[in-house]
């Protein structure tokens, strides 16, 4: 059928300027033709309009290229009559929450998953692979893969959105990277970034870790299959090996291999430092995070985590100074108030603790944590520090029973209150639930009171760590 002359008149001028441009959704596709969304949906269904979809995703997750649309238009376009089209399914980004809630609640929050995650599952199930980000300086022998420009643009857009560390940034980055790997399934670095996104998304959205980490592994392994010397891929796999399968020796081997392949990758040094920190080491994590900062001095995440490592190394004043400065410069970044709350609670600075704890909950939009803050503030007014801990403990139990607070956090407050049996019981429950926070069992300040308890020390060893030395023992 010949193209309708009226439509040609509406888009004729636009075609030259819009050639070879990517249109992100039905609205942009409709605007390209000067028609409504219902019409272009019908064209796609009945007339073969070249619209692309994320593999396995919701039908609203579409994109198109103007050069393909122009070619289709030249070949023939349907008449103007409209037909009813099904209403679109909305692409809903998951709201950010704090990592502790993501460890306890995510296991029951499946109904709120972002639609794009289903798309990746289909794609990665058909592949096998894992790798992480583009290296800062590639080894001389490595041949850099060059995708076509539009795929490269998708990758670069995804890197930007991933760097925001916001829920909508993660979901948009995953959508872009899925699109990139659909268009170019040989693009290893895109799989690396996809692995990075899935490695960290459960800390910022409601996506359960037991769904995110397997996809990270699949993406990383696919990248390694495509590019066996891709350092970022080994770093991404090392991250998942530590936080998901908890094979600590293997994780260390993978990190060290990634560093040998590319000693100038800030992300690798950053992640390696954090894994060494939770193992109870001091000197090496500081050296690794300092190297990461040298390579990427503008990274907010590296600066925040350097402060946290300094705190666990006993340099409390240095840590507080860095976090206060970062919180002032980046008021919407969750990690500074979250880390400050940990430090202030350990120091018994309860008013400061409450301020930072509440701020972190507000940034994360975590209603359970805000309720805990309200209860703790009331307890502080009525009975001081002991009242704060008691009220906080009671409210944490209520939120835990609603699957909105991890058992691990309840255990920490019980330990600070001297309720050792209850602390051990909740730690055991955290182990049973496989809560991610359990990786902090060796170094978290609230558990200092349990260091000499044989039950606690046995749990620490079961988690793969060497128990802390008891002072005076």
Find the helix or strand (DSSP H, E) in which 163 lies. Answer: helix 149-163
pLDDT higher than 50, residue 168: yes
pLDDT value for 289: 97
Rounded to a whole number of angstroms, the distance between the first and last alpha carbons of the chain is: 88
pLDDT value for 17: 40
The angle at the Cα of 254, spanning 249 to 257, to the nearest 5 degrees, equals 125
**What is residue 114's three-state secondary structure?**
coil
Instruction: Please check whether residue 23 is in contact with residue 63, taking contact to mean a CB–CB distance below 8 angstroms.
Output: yes
Structural tokens at position 403: 């699957």
pLDDT higher than 50, residue 117: no
Q: Which residue has the higher pLDDT, 306 or 29?
A: 306
What are 330-341's pLDDT values in tens digits?
A: 998 899 999 999
pLDDT value for 233: 96
* Neighbouring C-alpha atoms within 13 Å toward the C-beta of 173: 27
Instruction: Please check whether residue 11 is in contact with residue 74, taking contact to mean a CB–CB distance below 8 angstroms.
Output: no
Structural tokens at position 204: 């910022």
Q: Give which of 299, 300, 298, 320 is closest to 310, Cα–Cα.
A: 320
Instruction: Please check whether residue 228 is in contact with residue 169, taking contact to mean a CB–CB distance below 8 angstroms.
Output: no
pLDDT value for 306: 97
What are 276-288's pLDDT values in tens digits?
A: 999 888 899 999 9
**Cα 214 from Cα 219, distance rounded (Å):** 9
What are 240-278's pLDDT values in tens digits?
A: 999 998 999 999 999 999 999 999 999 999 999 999 999
| Lowest pLDDT segment from 27-36, 97-106, 428-437 | 97-106
**What is residue 130's three-state secondary structure?**
strand
Q: Give which of 318, 291, 315 is closest to 302, Cα–Cα.
A: 291
Q: What is the mean pLDDT of residues 230-244?
A: 95
Instruction: Please check whether residue 457 is in contact with residue 469, taking contact to mean a CB–CB distance below 8 angstroms.
Output: no
Q: What is the mean pLDDT of residues 141-160?
A: 85
Q: Which residue has the higher pLDDT, 315 or 65?
A: 315
Give Cα 66 to chain centroid, integer Å. 32
Which residues in 253-367 belong to E strands, given as ranges?
none
pLDDT band at 60 (very low <50, low <70, confident <90, very high): low
pLDDT band at 234 (very low <50, low <70, confident <90, very high): very high
pLDDT higher than 90, residue 177: yes
The angle at the Cα of 407, spanning 373 to 271, to the nearest 5 degrees, equals 90
Select the CATH number that applies to the domain covering 5-75 from these four: 1.10.10, 1.20.120, 1.10.3210, 3.30.390.
Answer: 1.10.10
What are 377-417's pLDDT values in tens digits?
A: 999 999 999 999 999 999 999 999 999 999 999 999 999 99
Which residues in 212-307 belong to E strands, given as ranges?
none
In the chain, the percentage of residues whose pLDDT exceeds 70 is 77
**Cα 95 from Cα 107, distance rounded (Å):** 16
pLDDT higher than 90, residue 354: yes
pLDDT band at 141 (very low <50, low <70, confident <90, very high): low
Its sign, for the CA torsion 343, 349, 354, 356, is negative
pLDDT higher than 50, residue 315: yes
Backbone dihedral region of 348: left (phi > 0), alpha (psi from -120 to 50 degrees) or beta?
A: left
What are the distances in angstroms from CA 209 to CA 154, 162, 176, 204, 273?
26, 17, 21, 11, 21
CB atoms within 10 A of CB 125: 12
Backbone dihedral region of 426: left (phi > 0), alpha (psi from -120 to 50 degrees) or beta?
A: alpha
Please give the backbone phi and psi of residue 139, each rounded to the nearest 5 degrees, phi first. -60, 145
Helix then strand count (H, E) for the chain reads 22, 4
Q: Which residue has the higher pLDDT, 152 or 28?
A: 152
Give Cα 267 to chain centroid, integer Å. 14
**What is residue 63's three-state secondary structure?**
strand
Which class in CATH covers the domain with range 99-264?
Answer: mainly alpha
Q: What's 23's DSSP letter? A: E
**Cα 142 from Cα 152, distance rounded (Å):** 19
User: For the chain, what is the mean pLDDT?
Assistant: 81
pLDDT higher than 80, residue 156: yes
pLDDT higher than 80, residue 57: no
Instruction: Please check whether residue 223 is in contact with residue 193, taking contact to mean a CB–CB distance below 8 angstroms.
Output: no
Q: Give which of 145, 142, 147, 94 is closest to 117, Cα–Cα.
A: 94
Which residues lie below 8 Å from residue 472, measured CB to CB, with a gap of 6+? none
pLDDT value for 190: 95
Q: Which residue has the higher pLDDT, 433 or 124?
A: 433
CB atoms within 10 A of CB 470: 11
Q: Give which of 407, 447, 443, 448 is closest to 428, Cα–Cα.
A: 407
Beta bridge partners of 65: 22
pLDDT value for 350: 97
Q: What's 366's DSSP letter? A: -
Find the helix or strand (DSSP H, E) in which 193 lies. Answer: helix 188-200
Find the helix or strand (DSSP H, E) in which 118 lies. Answer: helix 116-125
pLDDT higher than 70, residue 6: no
**Domain limits, the chain:** 5-75, 99-264, 407-473
pLDDT band at 37 (very low <50, low <70, confident <90, very high): confident
Q: Which residue has the higher pLDDT, 39 or 135?
A: 39
Q: Give which of 170, 193, 171, 172 is closest to 181, Cα–Cα.
A: 193
Structural tokens at position 88: 């679109």
């Amino acid at each position: 059928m010949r193209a309708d002359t009226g439509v040609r008149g509406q888009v004729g001028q636009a075609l030259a300027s819009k050639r070879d441009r990517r249109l992100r959704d039905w609205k942009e596709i409709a605007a390209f033709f000067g028609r409504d969304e219902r019409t272009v949906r019908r064209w796609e269904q009945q007339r073969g309009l070249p619209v692309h979809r994320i593999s396995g995703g919701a039908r609203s997750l579409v994109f198109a290229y103007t050069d393909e649309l122009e070619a289709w238009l030249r070949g023939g376009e349907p008449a103007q009559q409209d037909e009813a089209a099904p209403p679109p399914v909305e692409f809903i980004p998951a709201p950010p929450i704090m990592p502790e809630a993501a460890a306890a609640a995510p296991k029951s929050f499946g109904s709120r998953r972002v639609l794009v995650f289903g798309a990746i599952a289909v794609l990665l199930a058909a592949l096998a692979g894992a790798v992480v980000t583009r290296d800062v300086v590639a080894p001389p022998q490595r041949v850099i893969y060059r995708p076509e420009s539009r795929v490269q643009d998708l990758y670069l857009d995804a890197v930007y959105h991933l760097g925001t560390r916001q829920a909508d940034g993660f979901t948009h980055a995953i959508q872009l990277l899925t699109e990139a790997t659909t268009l170019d399934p040989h693009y290893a670095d895109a799989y690396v970034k996809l692995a990075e996104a899935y490695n960290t998304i459960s800390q910022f959205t409601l996506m359960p870790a037991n769904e995110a980490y397997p996809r990270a592994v699949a993406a990383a392994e696919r990248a390694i299959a495509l590019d066996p010397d891709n350092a970022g891929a080994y770093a991404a796999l090392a991250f998942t090996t530590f936080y998901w399968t908890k094979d600590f020796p293997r994780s260390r081997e993978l990190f060290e291999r990634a560093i040998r392949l590319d000693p100038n990758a800030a992300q690798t040094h950053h992640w390696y430092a954090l894994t060494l920190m939770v193992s109870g080491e001091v000197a090496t994590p500081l050296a690794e995070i300092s190297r990461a900062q040298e390579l990427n001095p503008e990274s907010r995440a590296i600066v925040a985590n350097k402060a946290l490592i300094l705190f666990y190394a006993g340099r409390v004043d240095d840590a507080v100074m860095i976090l206060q400065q970062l919180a002032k410069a980046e008021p919407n970044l969750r990690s500074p108030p979250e880390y400050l709350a940990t430090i202030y609670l350990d120091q018994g600075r309860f008013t400061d603790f409450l301020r930072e704890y509440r701020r972190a909950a507000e940034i994360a939009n975590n209603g359970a944590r805000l309720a805990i803050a309200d209860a703790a503030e009331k307890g502080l007014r009525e009975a001081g520090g002991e009242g704060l801990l008691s009220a906080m403990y009671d409210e944490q139990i209520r939120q835990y029973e609603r699957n909105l607070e991890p058992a691990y956090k309840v255990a920490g407050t019980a330990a600070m209150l001297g309720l050792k049996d209850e602390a051990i019981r909740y730690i055991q429950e955290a182990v049973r639930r496989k809560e991610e926070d359990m990786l902090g069992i060796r170094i978290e300040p609230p558990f200092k009171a349990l260091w000499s308890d044989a039950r606690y020390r046995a749990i620490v060893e079961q988690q793969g760590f060497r128990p802390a030395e008891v002072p005076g023992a």
